[in-house]
Amino acid sequence: MAVIGLDGVGVPLIRDLTARGLMPNLASLLAGGTLAPMRSSIPVISSVSWTSFMTGRNPGKHGVYGFTDVKPGTLTLFFPNFGNVRSETLWDVAGRAGKRS
């Protein structure tokens, strides 16, 4: 299985561009695959949405709320990274099942 995520691009635009022949490689992939919209998270911020995608959890469960966050008990900003994700990811599940990612 492969997942290709195009951040900020809606399904109607992808369908239009592939139908007009402007994205032939993507059209070829879609011919043998599936195209589906992703329900976004709240807040609608890429780092939050992609973390929700890879964990199946909302920000309150996975712990990523934006591109920056505040360290608890301080006013210090930091940039969340993979180490800040508090939930299991689909790659964790796949790995336990003997799959490679």
Could you tell me if residue 75 is left (phi over 0), alpha (psi between -120 and 50 degrees) or otherwise beta?
Answer: alpha
Structure tokens belonging to residue 22 = 């402007």
Regarding whether 85 and 58 lie in a shared domain, the answer is: yes
Give the number of domains in the chain.
2
Residue 3 inside a domain? The answer is no
pLDDT digit string, tens, across residues 5-18: 888 888 999 999 99
pLDDT digit string, tens, across residues 72-83: 899 999 999 999
> Is the pTM value of this prediction over 0.85?
no
Burial class (CB in 10 A: 0-12, 13-18, 19+), 23: middle
Residue 83 CA neighbour count, 13 Å, CB half: 2
Residue 54 inside a domain? The answer is yes
Residue 4 CA neighbour count, 13 Å, CB half: 11
Tokens 């966050």 -> residue: 69
Domain, as residue range, for 34? 9-38
